[in-house]
Structure 1
Amino acid sequence: MSEAPAAPRPGSADATTARPVDQLDLLLTPPTPRSGWRVPAARAWAMCLVELQKLRHDRTELYTRAVQPALWLLIFGETFTRIHAIPTPGVPYLDYLAPGIIAQSAMFIAIFYGIMIIWERDAGVLTKLLVTPTPRAALITGKAFAAGVKSVIQAVVVVVLAAILGVSLTWNPLKLLGVVVAVILGSAFFSCLSMSIAGIVLTRDRLMGIGQAITMPLFFASNALYPVAVMPGWLQVLSRINPLSYEVDALRGLLLGTHAHLLLDFGVLLVAALAGITAASSLLGRLAR
């Protein structure tokens, strides 16, 4: 009986001719598609990366937006620290102010995010995104968390400036991670609020006017500048339904070690972010009409 042919050696001609066939099979066989929750998560991450790529081409926004928090700390903070006009028991006013300025600068970045999505609508980009298989919620989530990452970069600038001015901040890595999460969740809510307003007003001019009209009331109706206890009763009610107050409370507790309701703060921020994503996703189709 004849012997069975031996298997080709790795370096033989038969093995060489077999490689293109194997490679052709890999090209003809599509990769295993993602399923379940991984699909929207991957799409949201991709959209977040697309938004952050814009920073590589133009970093001017980050530099110019660093001016305002610097002025708040250098002028407002230093002045009110000297005159002791606002009671902050056990904490210097500049220390008390720094977390509020972090939250304020993050909100100011996120609250005008709807202008960008209106610009994408006018340029035809939004229509192209909506005809892709990307879920609308993933599209909004990617943009919201891109705004959060931009806000974290802004927060780093404020933290460094506050440290230079002598503010006693914690450098515990776990607490700093909590600061990052709080800033991202707060920015996600305010960017979704902006995109929801964009889906209602549909034009950049109207959105700019509404954005300017609500930013300062949100800021002053929070505990960013002064404790809730010194506010009049009606303002205390507004402060308790203002997500910015919970973000400031979380930042103050993490950075300064003051008393804070961290579970409540993060719970409110998470619910607010999810509600914002839901509202903005439902209004995205109206914006693209």
Structure 2
Amino acid sequence: MLDGWVEPRLNRRESFIYALSQLVTKTLVLAELEVRKLRHDPSDLLIRGVQPALWLLVFGQVFTRTRAIPTGNLSYLDFMAPGILAQSVLFVAIFTGGMTLIWERDLGIVQKLLASPIPRAAMVLGKAVGCGVRCLPQIVIIYGLTLLLGVNVNLNPLALLQVLVIVLLGAGCFCVFSLIIGCLVKSRERFTGIGQLITMPLFFASNAIYPLSLMPGWLHILSSINPLTYQVDALRGTMLVNGSSLYGFGLDCTILLLTLIGLTIICGRLYPRVAM
């Protein structure tokens, strides 16, 4: 009589696979919701491309002529291009994740999501994936600018795929970091101030616009724990024809992935604080 009334109990392996599939499915659903927001304001994608364009056209052109920074067998503009792509991803991720979270809290959307049976990790990763998709047009914009400026960009399909992976991982890391800040602060004004406070130190404490060899010891230590350093290193080894990576593409991806997992666990714990 109980046939069909009680579901069979899954073993540990089946339970893990089922939980993982549910996490992936719900993450993609929430990521789709984030991507749909682009239809309401597609001009934001072009506006986000203005800042990296200015860095390449002004800062890059000037320092290429001065030759004050040693970059080995690369011109300074070639050396700088991957760093500007990473900077663009950093700025988009920081000012998208936490700010969006605060807006959704004020509109009551976060409270509804928290009342649903969606895993907190899926809520975090959904926004991270959506932010990664939002950063993809930055690749097109910066690649177009670098080609016009004569940068030796590697257009091999495998290299493009590697750049895509690194951009998604970097965007995910900094988006989740931004979400953690959004969980802790209570107003958009305070988040904007904190976001501006942390973006420039993250950028300058990396190898984005100068090599690690020029850094003093204390700054070199900070750069070694900065995820942006590994994102730039991977982009420099894959984006350029004559580019090289200090740590290797595999290690860079591993560090970014572990950082993303660690930040996701922290953010999942803090996420209910948004509704308080």
Do the structures match in fold with TM over 0.5? yes
| Aligned-residue RMSD, C-alpha | 1.1
2:137 corresponds to which residue?
Answer: 153
Q: What letter is aligned with 1:244? A: L
Q: Tell me the equivalent position of 1:288.
A: 275
Shift of 1:133: 1.4
Distance 2:59 2:224 in 1: 24
After TM superposition, list the pairs within 5 Å mapping 1:30-49 onto structure 2.
35-49=18-32
- What is the Cα deviation at residue 258 of structure 1? 2.3
The answer to whether the 8 Å contact 2:93/2:178 transfers is: yes
**Partners of 1:65 and 1:118 in 2: how far apart?**
20
In 2: Cα distance, 1:132 partner to 1:230 partner: 51
- Counterpart of 2:205, as a letter, is A
Task: Kindly provide the amino acid, as one letter, of the partner of residue 273 in structure 1.
Answer: L
CA distance in 1, matches of 2:78, 2:244: 14
Does the residue aligned with 2:116 lie in a helix, a strand or coil? coil
Look up the equivalent residue of 1:102 and give its one-letter code.
L
Q: Give the partner amino acid of 2:215.
A: M
| C-alpha displacement of 1:35 | 3.3
Q: 2: CA distance between counterparts of 1:72 and 1:93?
A: 12
Aligned equivalent of 1:258, options 237, 243, 247: 243
| SS of residue matched to 1:132 | coil
User: Secondary structure, in 3 states, of the residue corresponding to 1:111?
Assistant: helix
Deviates more, 1:147-156 or 1:62-71: 147-156
Q: For the residues of structure 2 that align with 1:47 and 1:124, how far apart are their CA atoms?
A: 16
Once the two structures are TM-superposed, the CA of residue 243 in structure 1 deviates from its matched residue by 0.3
Where structure 2 has 5 or more consecutive residues not aligned to the other structure, the ranges are 1-16
**Superposed displacement of residue 81, structure 1:** 0.5
Shift of 1:196: 0.3
- Deviation for aligned residue 1:277: 1.2
Deviations 1:206-243 (A, max 9, x none): 11111100100000000000000011111111111100
How far residue 280 of structure 1 moved from its aligned partner, in angstroms, is 1.3
In the alignment, the residues of structure 1 paired with residue 243 and residue 85 of structure 2 have an alpha-carbon distance, to the nearest angstrom, of 16
Consecutive unaligned residues of structure 1, counting only runs of 5 or more, are 1-33
| Counterpart-to-counterpart distance in 1, 2:255 and 2:187 | 30
Q: Give distance in 2, aligned partners of 1:179 and 1:77.
A: 21
Describe how 1:156-235 pairs up with structure 2 within 5 A: 156-235=140-219
Tell me which amino acid in the other structure corresponds to 2:271: L
The amino acid of 1:80's aligned partner reads F
Q: Of 90, 95, 116, which residue of structure 2 is paired with 1:132? A: 116
Which amino acid in the other structure matches residue 94 of structure 1? L
Aligned residue type for 1:268: I
Shift of 1:36: 3.2
Moved over 4 A (4+): none
Q: Does 1:65 align with 2:48?
A: yes
1:103 pairs with one of 86, 105, 114: 86
SS at match of 2:19: coil
Q: How does 1:51-62 map to 2 (within 5 A)?
A: 51-62=34-45
8 Å CA contact 2:110, 2:274 repeated in 1 = no
Cα distance in 1, alignment partners of residues 108 and 19 from structure 2:
30
- The aligned residue for residue 57 of structure 2 is 74
8 Å contact 1:106–1:155 — kept in the other structure? no
Deviation at 1:202, TM superposition (A): 2.4
**How far apart are 1:263 and its partner, in Å?**
1.7
2:68 partner letter: A
Identity %: 48
Whether the 8 Å contact between 1:105 and 1:155 is mirrored in structure 2 is no
